């Protein structure tokens, strides 16, 4: 059965450009998803959107086309806490993919161990209200305590306006904490304004907080590359991402976010997204930290 996609849903971009920016050898796409295929891995009944399919084979084809070596596959909310599609993609990656799962409090130690063997190294706590139902913080803290002994970390996704309310929870987590998409700043505000300064403070205080400097296409108000060239692509996001890369060079990650859930106006060409990296990490040393050293330390420490 083919499911009806959410109205206005944009499918991912088939035939992306070959990036002009040459990724450092061994680069990791540290934030991407798989969707289904729904005939094999049905979407969760509690999901807030129904996407198109985006399979593990299609993800690997994109990885190779763009010049990445590895992927970190983050559980998408359309699959709820049913991690089978993500785990299956990790298991078939020949060790070249790690996963970040969504689990509920009832998860058993045996299930966690199985996921660890498959390549899962973290759990995701999502606070974006349009994507998930509310989960009490004490439940999330219990989960964090369960996964900490495995050496896993917590990935958090939230809107910038909600940071004050989430601050104590984040700083109280017992693991490394990785923030998705820079904590979703409003990039029409100044990069040194109150809102982003708060995020910088969050990262400055405890040394266990990391950030993905990803998703310019999601955060930008100024928008995508002009048709005649990408030099001004997502220019309003550049200063935010560059500030994090320069200030916390050993705690930043980058990912494509393929297949780009919930984009209604514009679907990015992943090749041009890769070209964007050279604007936010301008020196080769920073590029290597962002794309190789940092993700390898977090997801493949045994190879360090
Ligand atoms: C992202 C962003 C989004 C969605 C999800 O799991 C998800 O459904 O992460 C979003 O809609 O902002 O990171 O892919």
If the chain, 304 residues long, is cut into consecutive pieces of 10 residues, what is the mean pLDDT of each piece? 84 94 98 98 97 98 98 98 98 98 97 98 97 96 98 98 98 98 97 98 93 96 66 86 98 98 92 95 98 98 92
| H or E element at residue 126 | strand 120-126
pLDDT at 304: 79
Yes or no: say if 51 and 6 are a contact pair by the CB < 8 Å rule.
Answer: yes
Using CA atoms, how far apart are residues 273 and 76, in angstroms rounded to an integer? Answer: 20
pLDDT at 46: 97
The pick from 48, 51, 126, 262 for probing ligand 1's pocket by mutation, whose C-beta has the most ligand atoms within 8 angstroms, reads 262
For the question of residue 257 being annotated catalytic, the response is: yes
Query: The pTM is what?
Result: 0.97
Q: By three-state DSSP, how is residue 232 classified?
A: coil
* Interval between CA 76 and ligand 1 midpoint (Å): 6
* Interval between CA 180 and ligand 1 midpoint (Å): 9
Antiparallel, parallel or unpaired: β 209-212 and 70-74: unpaired
pLDDT at 227: 47
Peptide bond into 190 cis (omega under 30): no
pLDDT at 228: 45
Using CA atoms, how far apart are residues 39 and 2, in angstroms rounded to an integer? Answer: 8
- Among protein residues, the one whose CA lies closest to atom 8 of ligand 1: 77
Residue that the structure tokens 């969707």 belong to: 35
Residue 102: CB within 6 Å of ligand 1?
A: no
Using CA atoms, how far apart are residues 185 and 182, in angstroms rounded to an integer? Answer: 7
Yes or no: say if 257 and 31 are a contact pair by the CB < 8 Å rule.
Answer: yes
Residue 77: CB within 6 Å of ligand 1?
A: yes
pLDDT at 2: 64
Q: By three-state DSSP, how is residue 90 classified?
A: helix
CA distances (Å), 271 to each of 17, 134, 174, 225, in order? 5, 35, 37, 12
Residue 76: CB within 6 Å of ligand 1?
A: yes
Both structure tokens of 18: 């070959």
Using CA atoms, how far apart are residues 234 and 217, in angstroms rounded to an integer? Answer: 7
Give the phi and the psi of residue 15 in degrees, each rounded to 5. 75, 50
Using CA atoms, how far apart are residues 232 and 270, in angstroms rounded to an integer? Answer: 16
Residue 289: CB within 6 Å of ligand 1?
A: no
pLDDT at 229: 53
Nearest to 50 by CA among 59, 61, 40, 37: 37
The pick from 33, 46, 72 for probing ligand 1's pocket by mutation, whose C-beta has the most ligand atoms within 8 angstroms, reads 33
Q: CB 277: neighbour CB atoms within 10 A?
A: 24
- Ligand 1 atom with the shortest distance to the CA of 128: 12
């Amino acid at each position: 059965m083919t499911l009806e996609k959410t109205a206005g849903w944009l499918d991912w971009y088939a035939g992306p450009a070959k990036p002009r920016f040459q990724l450092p050898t061994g680069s990791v796409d540290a934030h991407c998803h798989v969707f289904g295929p729904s005939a094999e891995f049905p979407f969760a009944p509690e999901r807030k959107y129904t996407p198109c399919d985006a399979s593990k084979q299609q993800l690997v084809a994109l990885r190779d086309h763009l010049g990445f070596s590895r992927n970190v596959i983050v559980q998408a909310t359309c699959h709820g806490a049913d991690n089978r599609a993500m785990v299956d993609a990790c298991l078939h990656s020949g060790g070249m993919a790690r996963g970040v799962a969504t689990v509920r409090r009832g998860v058993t130690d045996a299930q966690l161990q199985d996921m660890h063997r498959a390549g899962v190294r973290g759990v995701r706590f999502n606070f974006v209200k349009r994507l998930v139902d509310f989960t009490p913080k004490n439940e999330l803290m219990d989960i964090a305590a369960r996964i900490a002994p495995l050496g896993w970390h917590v990935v958090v996704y939230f809107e910038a306006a909600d940071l004050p309310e989430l601050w104590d929870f984040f700083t109280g987590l017992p693991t490394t904490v990785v923030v998705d998409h820079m904590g979703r700043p409003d990039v029409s505000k100044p990069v040194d304004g109150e809102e982003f300064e708060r995020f910088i403070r969050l990262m400055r205080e405890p040394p266990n907080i990391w950030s993905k400097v990803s998703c310019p296409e999601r955060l930008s108000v100024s928008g995508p590359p002009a048709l005649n060239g990408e030099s001004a692509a997502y220019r309003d996001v550049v200063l935010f991402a560059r500030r994090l890369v320069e200030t916390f060079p050993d705690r930043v990650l980058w990912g494509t976010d393929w297949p780009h859930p919930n984009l209604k106006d514009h679907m990015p060409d992943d090749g041009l997204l890769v070209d964007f990296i050279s604007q936010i990490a301008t020196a080769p040393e920073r590029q290597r930290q962002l794309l190789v050293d940092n993700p390898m330390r977090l997801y493949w420490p045994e190879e360090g």
